[in-house]
Amino acid sequence: MRYSVGVLGATGMVGQKFIQMLADHPWFKLTSLAASERRVGKKYGEEVDWIASRDVPDVAKDIEMVPMDPKYVDADIVFSALPSDIAREVEPKFAEAGFVVASNASAYRMAEDVPLVIPEVNPEHLGLIEVQKKNRGWDGFIVTNPNCTTIVLVLSLKPLMDLGLKTVRVASMQALSGAGYPGVPSLAITDNVIPFIKGEEDKVEEEPLKLLGKFDGQKVEFANIKVSASCHRVPVIDGHTEAVWVEFDRSVSVEEAKAAFESLKPLDLPTSPEKVIIVREEPDRPQPRLDRDAGNGMSITVGRIRKDGENGLKYIVMGHNTVRGAAGASVLNAELMVKEKII
């Protein structure tokens, strides 16, 4: 069985990435594209400035865009690539109308009854769906994926939790595509690093606590760790690179950490990579140009794992921000829900 799917906010950078990933999906059939009022009634292929790849996928070219209203969307699942302010208003309307909303927006990530999920990290948090439906009286529901920087970080932190992880410090070097299209003005970012991304550090410090927390059947008890972040925009097109310092409640060797990273198992899902975490031994890896497309953009790459004091380690982690960090994350969440018969 193939499920019909739609994209909310189909013309933006993440919306285009959704369409690219859904075009030949074995479980999902793209049937609806919803966009802003000025694009309604226009064919997607004629209207959008396609930037995700060389050509608009054939499956999307002739789809007429519809309003962001449940009455006009023909789908079982909608993937939301909406800006958070619009998502806060639109997504509940779809959930109330019975749609499954797989959201990349930040609007409901930290809501107590909304699952914030990375399938390899906390699939049990999908248990919040029934809590959400009961609390809100919805026939459908919203499931979210984290911020793009958070996903890359937390995938690397999950294997370290069993080693006694206590504190995390992270400095991000974030790609331009994370700012959307047209993004950062060229005269602002060329020959430059911008040491501020509005709202980013709060997300990176808060979301891991929910993701790494424990679901007790009614709510998520946040993880008892401390995360401190400093986020920076750099002149790279795709791929967020993060320098991470971690401290444990005991001494952890580099070899233990490598084994832990490599122990994170992939899932039997269409979008899942063969290896979730790729550990590189070269002293100058990972690098965005060399490593962002690992696992079709769904793997993260870890390198430069070093001791940092008696109980600490430091390493570099890198992942594709619009694939694993955005559209691919939502698609993987939807695949997991299909596999678990939630959809």
Active site residues: 148, 240
Instruction: Say how many domains are in the chain.
Output: 2
Please tell me the predicted confidence (pLDDT) of residue 49.
Answer: 74
> Do 124 and 264 share a domain, yes or no?
no
Q: What is the pLDDT of residue 55?
A: 79
Question: Looking at the structure, do residues 242 and 274 belong to the same domain, yes or no?
Answer: yes
* pLDDT at residue 53 in the model: 54
Query: Which residues of the chain carry a pLDDT beneath 70?
Result: 50-54
- Say whether both 133 and 269 belong to one domain: no
What is the domain range of residue 124?
Answer: 3-146+326-339
Q: What pLDDT is recorded for position 214?
A: 98
Residue 5 to residue 100: CA distance in whole angstroms: 10
Instruction: Report the Cα–Cα distance between both ends of the chain, in Å, rounded.
Output: 12
CATH at residue 262: 3.30.360.10
Q: Are residues 135 and 253 in the same domain?
A: no
CATH number at residue 27: 3.40.50.720
Same domain, 170 and 70: no
Q: Residue 51's pLDDT is what?
A: 64
Would you say the C-alpha torsion 251, 253, 256, 262 has a positive or negative sign?
positive
* Model confidence pLDDT, tens digit, residues 251-302: 999 999 999 999 999 999 999 999 999 999 999 999 999 999 999 999 999 9
One domain for residues 127 and 166: no
* CA dist list (Å): 130 to 137, 215, 218, 229: 10, 13, 9, 33
- Same structural domain for residues 307 and 159? yes
**Nearest to 316, CA basis, from 122, 118, 153:** 153
In terms of domains, do 136 and 214 share one? no
In a shared domain, residues 301 and 179: yes
For residues 223 and 78, give the distance between their C-alpha atoms in angstroms, rounded to a whole number: 30
Task: Give per-residue pLDDT as tens, 305-314.
Answer: 999 999 999 9
How far is residue 3 from each of residues 67, 157, 205, 343, measured CA to CA in Å? 21, 33, 35, 9
138, 76: one domain: yes
Q: 301 and 161 in one domain?
A: yes
Q: Same structural domain for residues 135 and 156? A: no
Dihedral pair phi/psi, residue 301, rounded to 5°: -120, 130
Only one residue has tokens 């079709």, namely: 296
E-only strand ranges, the chain: 3-8, 28-34, 77-80, 100-103, 141-144, 165-174, 214-215, 220-221, 226-233, 240-248, 277-279, 300-307, 312-319
